[in-house]
Chains A and B, each alone.
Chain A
Amino acid sequence: MKLVVAIIKPFKLDEVRQALTAIGVHGMTVTEVKGYGRQKGHTEIYRGAEYVVNFLPKLRIEIAVASDVADKAVEVITANARTGQIGDGKIFVTPIDHALRIRTGETDSDAL
């Protein structure tokens, strides 16, 4: 089992979600986050006062998938979250030791 964590541009969420559903990924956790990478921040001006905004709004999506699906999921996210501009985000894949569905008590691959 793998945990795929992707940081993407907020307006790309729908495309990514639809594409993941199409390859059989049926669960996802989304969090609104702020951060910076190579894109850095931007400047905002309020009545002449300039503020540098270091942290930009992004979405962090997390999906837990069987190991054989992970590569496909990463491929799909990459294809759909990409604009070609700086600030498209990153994807991290980590192994999952154990998984459990709280309602039924099912574990590991049955719980995904």
Chain B
Amino acid sequence: MLVDIWEGTAPRPEVERFCEMWGIKGPILLDPDLALAGELGVRGVPTNVVVDADGTVREFGAARLDELERAIESL
């Protein structure tokens, strides 16, 4: 699930343009005030937060594909 942050300007038109350009059709959440990103201490993009079925954070960061795949396999 994508979570949009740090657009600076209004996020909706920017997200719309982004989805069109990259053909993204999945769910997208908007966090313009950094309510979640700020609490988690997100410092850059992309940042992947992998959450297990108990709601526990299992991986944080994982910008590289191999890191993300390893995190998913370990769930």
Q: Do A and B bind each other?
A: no
Name B residues whose Cβ lies closer than 8 Å to a Cβ of A. none
